[in-house]
Structure 1
Amino acid sequence: MTQDLEREGITLDDVTYEKKRINPLAPSKAAFYSAILPGLGQIYNKRYWKAPIVWGAIGTAVYTYSFNNTEYNRARDAFKRRRAGFTDDEFYDINGDGQGPDLSLEALQDAQERAQRDRDLSLLISIALYALNIIDANVDAHLKQYNVDDNLSVDFKPYLDLNPFTSNPNYGMALVIKF
């Protein structure tokens, strides 16, 4: 084979190959790190700017879950006490006029159901963001192993050709792919 290349004027000294070591375990390592501590897989991939985004997104979702859980427990406790006949819950006389309950049993039940629905939605969003964090770390580690060389390109160029029969110009766009 080297003789065929030399006959064509190509020597092996002219061709240089650069081997890039690829770690096949890097994607699973990045996913594992992100599963242990969200954002750690992004740091492992050297995408430091992604870690605060992950922390902010998951932190916001966890805070929203905690807030809605607190509201749910407040409404549930008041509803239970009101059903048991007590009048000392925090929603009984909010404005302090002594006129009786400001929120009815139905309003307390609606508040409880709304807070429960919001809490459950916050939990689903938290789980989805956690999974997205792991998937992002894994995919990013996979994509870092692909060859992105200057010789690989896709380009659109204007195209002009003359019709051989009518000599009319044909205009268009050409897709040029270099490997």
Structure 2
Amino acid sequence: MLNKYAIALVIILAFCCNTWAQDDKNSEDKKEVQTETPEELQVEANNIVSDPIDPLAPARAAFYSAVLPGLGHAYLKEYWKIPVIYAGLGVGVYFYLDNNKEYNRYRDAYKRRLAGFTDDEFYGTINDDGLREAQKTLSRNREISLLVTLGIYALNIIWANVDAHLLQYNVDDNLSFKPHYKINEFDNTGNLGITVNFKF
């Protein structure tokens, strides 16, 4: 445990400690070393071309996806996501219909048993308690399938909305975050800093 702290302290000191310039000659023989700083690259604001921001695009994409799943992604020209959405919805609908069909089979057999008939397809293999338990299980699975399908439908709307927001994400030079490290020429120490710019 102590070794971890010692290693972490050495790493922090290595990054934060001052750099010392030493010369083998006497202090009388020291010469000033002047370093030329490179010219900064100037970018004129008129040359920056950015796409116009449409504030209604996320709402429009979400509305289209709510009307018809996948239509919001078609509006955003992200066509490869449409089969993913329909595959998820198709799987949910398939399991809902399958569980509903099986539930109806067991329910009809149970109703016939209650009416006194002995000619259902499960007679002799499953007793009345087994039919009741099968109905409970299939009913629960049917409800889960419906919830999953509705969840995929809601995720389709949210996905289109978020994608529309991300397509308009601001990455121009008016908003920048830049870390920097410079050598101070006066006392040969390192200066570590962060520059945050926001231009209106």
Q: TM-score scaled to structure 1, two decimals?
A: 0.71
Quote how far apart the aligned CAs of 1:143 are: 1.6
| Residue matched to 1:15 | 45
| Residue matched to 2:8 | none
Mark the CA change 1:154 to 1:73 in structure 2 (over 3 Å): closer, same or farther.
Answer: farther
| Residue matched to 2:66 | 35
CA distance in 2, matches of 1:85, 1:107: 17
Report 1:62-77 matches (<5 A): 62-77=93-108
What SS is found at the alignment partner of 1:46?
Answer: coil
User: Please, which of 96, 118, 138 is the counterpart of residue 141 of structure 2?
Assistant: 118
What SS is found at the alignment partner of 1:118?
Answer: helix
| Residue matched to 2:92 | 61
What SS is found at the alignment partner of 1:146?
Answer: coil
Report 1:104-115 matches (<5 A): 104-115=127-138
Q: Contact 1:154 / 1:175 at 8 angstroms: preserved in 2? A: no
Instruction: String of CA shifts for 1:24-63, please: whole Å, max 9, x gaps.
Output: 2211111111111111111111211211111101110111
Unaligned runs of 5+ in 2: 1-42, 184-189
**How well do the aligned residues superpose, as a CA RMSD in angstroms?**
2.9
CA distance in 2, matches of 1:32, 1:104: 50
2:72 partner letter:
G
What SS is found at the alignment partner of 1:38?
Answer: coil
CA distance in 2, matches of 1:116, 1:37: 28
Rg larger in structure:
2
CA distance in 1, matches of 2:179, 2:88: 39
Identity %: 53
What SS is found at the alignment partner of 2:45?
Answer: coil
Unaligned runs of 5+ in 1: 1-12, 93-100, 162-169
Mark the CA change 1:25 to 1:105 in structure 2 (over 3 Å): closer, same or farther.
Answer: same
Quote how far apart the aligned CAs of 1:108 are: 0.6
CA distance in 2, matches of 1:154, 1:143: 19
Report 1:1-179 matches (<5 A): 14-16=44-46, 17-92=48-123, 101-149=124-172, 179=197
1:143 partner letter:
L
| Residue matched to 1:4 | none
| Residue matched to 1:165 | none
Q: Contact 1:31 / 1:135 at 8 angstroms: preserved in 2? A: yes
Instruction: String of CA shifts for 1:94-135, please: whole Å, max 9, x gaps.
Output: xxxxxxx11100011111110000000111111111111001
Quote how far apart the aligned CAs of 1:18 are: 2.5
More off after superposition, 108-117 vs 25-34: 25-34
Mark the CA change 1:59 to 1:146 in structure 2 (over 3 Å): closer, same or farther.
Answer: same
CA distance in 2, matches of 1:105, 1:175: 76
How many residues are aligned here?
Answer: 148
Instruction: String of CA shifts for 1:132-158, please: whole Å, max 9, x gaps.
Output: 10011111111211122488676889x
